[in-house]
């Protein structure tokens, strides 16, 4: 999973100079224009709760989604911070959808029933069947794209995945990979529709939800990222990637204690080569003003990854922390 470099040095300086709770993550305190919420439930044709259904609140004048989320394991959902107005609310699972036009001038509830039968195999399996139609040529091109991506040959990977999607535009895994490649290039605008379509086509793929949550985190949409990750972890509770992204969301919301707990779970399941956990935990400890803990995490990171992209920043941060703790003890 791709991550933007951490601004650890900036965060440390803010903590040391201001001695205040960190708030440099782009989190807005809210606006009076965002003053309603929409909640409800989604059920299938057997009247069973439908997990992972996409909920979009669409402005009918522009056709654009102003807010969205996914239903939880019990079929319920909540969309918060919706501007007051008239909307087309769409619940979708795979290629099936249901719509309801609502005036949202206060908190509202709405229920949906989708023509998806989860009685025998569960919603994840039934939606994943849509990917069985992928032509062999598209699969082979995707495999080449994936191999190039693992070798960091980004342009080659992008070329192959584009060809795979020409063969089969509804190829969920290829859409996810193209979204991730665009994120790597810093193009979140092009990445978002691919990732959102990928989860709509196959909402049994937990990694598509992780990729989408990573994009939301990059955009500072931390609540939306957490809602997306809730579904990912309902599919795969042992996903270290999902727990790492959850920590990013919690750091963005200054929930430093929650971030530490998520990072503990991530480290429990992650391979030893994933050293980013130490950087995020250092960031959380700085927010908690546990500078000794942060020093330990940075030293641990540098012992394992002395030459990575974030290593120099980590060294500078470590130096500043040691200088601060030494002066505080005098």
Q: How far is it, in rounded angstroms, from Cα 203 to Cα 220? A: 23
Residue 306 lies in a domain: no
Residue 188 lies in a domain: no
Average pLDDT over residues 146-152: 84
Residue 110 lies in a domain: yes
Mean pLDDT computed over every residue of the chain: 81
- What was the pLDDT predicted at 6? 37
The predicted-structure confidence for 233-282, as pLDDT tens digits, reads as follows 888 888 899 999 999 999 999 999 999 999 999 999 888 888 889 999 99
Residue 103 lies in a domain: yes
Give the lowest-confidence range in 16-30, 206-220, 224-238: 16-30
The predicted-structure confidence for 73-84, as pLDDT tens digits, reads as follows 788 888 887 888
Residue 257 lies in a domain: no
The answer on pLDDT for 12 being more than 90 is no
For residues 117 and 100, the answer to whether their CB atoms sit within 8 Å is no
- What was the pLDDT predicted at 116? 67
- What was the pLDDT predicted at 74? 83
Average pLDDT over residues 194-214: 87
For residues 44 and 111, the answer to whether their CB atoms sit within 8 Å is no
- What was the pLDDT predicted at 191? 93
- The total domain count for the chain is 1
- What was the pLDDT predicted at 134? 85
Residue 88 lies in a domain: yes
The predicted-structure confidence for 91-146, as pLDDT tens digits, reads as follows 887 667 788 888 888 888 999 988 765 554 444 444 455 566 788 899 999 999 98
- What was the pLDDT predicted at 180? 92
Task: Name the pLDDT band for 2 (thresholds 50, 70, 90).
Answer: very low
The answer on pLDDT for 18 being more than 80 is no
Length of the chain equals 330
Higher pLDDT, 12 or 61: 61
In our burial notation (b when 16+ CB lie closer than 10 A, e otherwise), range 194-214 reads bbbbbbbbbbbbbbbbbbbbb
The answer on pLDDT for 297 being more than 60 is yes
Task: Name the pLDDT band for 25 (thresholds 50, 70, 90).
Answer: very low
- What was the pLDDT predicted at 28? 31
Q: Is the pTM higher than 0.75?
A: no
- What was the pLDDT predicted at 264? 93
Domain residues for the domain of 52 are 34-119
Average pLDDT over residues 313-326: 90
- What was the pLDDT predicted at 156? 94
Q: What is the CATH number of the domain that holds 105?
A: 2.60.40.10
Contacts within 8 Å (CB) and 24+ apart, 222-228: 222/25, 222/27, 222/249, 222/250, 222/252, 222/253, 223/80, 223/81, 223/249, 223/253, 224/67, 224/68, 224/69, 225/249, 225/252, 226/250, 227/69, 227/70, 228/69, 228/70, 228/199
Higher pLDDT, 177 or 121: 177
Residue 47 lies in a domain: yes
The answer on pLDDT for 325 being more than 60 is yes
- What was the pLDDT predicted at 117? 56
- What was the pLDDT predicted at 163? 96
Residue 79 lies in a domain: yes
């Amino acid at each position: 999973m791709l991550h933007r470099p951490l601004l650890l040095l900036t965060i440390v300086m803010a903590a040391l100079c201001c001695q205040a709770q960190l708030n440099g993550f782009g989190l807005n305190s809210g606006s009076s224009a965002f003053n309603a919420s929409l909640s409800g439930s989604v059920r299938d044709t057997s009247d069973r709760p439908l997990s992972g259904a996409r909920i979009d609140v669409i402005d009918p004048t522009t056709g654009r989604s102003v807010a969205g989320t996914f239903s939880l394991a019990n079929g319920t959902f909540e969309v918060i911070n919706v501007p007051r107005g008239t909307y087309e609310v769409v619940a979708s699972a795979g290629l099936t959808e249901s719509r309801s036009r609502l005036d949202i001038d206060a908190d509202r509830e709405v229920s949906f029933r989708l023509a998806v039968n989860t009685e025998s195999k569960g919603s994840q399996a039934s939606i994943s069947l849509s990917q069985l139609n992928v032509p062999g040529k598209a699969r082979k091109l995707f495999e080449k794209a994936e191999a190039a991506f693992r070798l960091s040959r980004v342009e080659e990977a992008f070329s192959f995945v584009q060809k795979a999607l020409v063969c089969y535009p509804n190829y969920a895994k290829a859409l996810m990979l193209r979204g991730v490649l665009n994120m790597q290039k810093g193009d979140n605008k092009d990445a978002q529709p691919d990732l959102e379509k990928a989860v709509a086509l196959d909402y049994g793929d937990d990694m598509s939800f992780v990729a989408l949550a990573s994009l939301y985190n990059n955009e500072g949409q931390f609540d939306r990222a957490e809602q997306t990750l809730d579904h990912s972890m309902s599919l795969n509770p042992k996903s270290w990637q999902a727990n790492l992204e959850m920590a990013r969301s919690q750091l963005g919301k200054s929930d430093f204690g929650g971030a530490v707990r998520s990072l503990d779970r991530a480290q429990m399941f992650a391979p030893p080569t994933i050293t980013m956990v130490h950087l995020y935990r250092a960031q959380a400890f700085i927010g908690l003003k546990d500078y000794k803990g942060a020093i330990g995490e940075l030293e641990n990171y540098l012992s394992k990854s002395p030459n990575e992209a974030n290593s120099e920043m980590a060294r500078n941060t470590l130096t500043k922390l040691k200088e601060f703790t030494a002066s505080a003890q005098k």
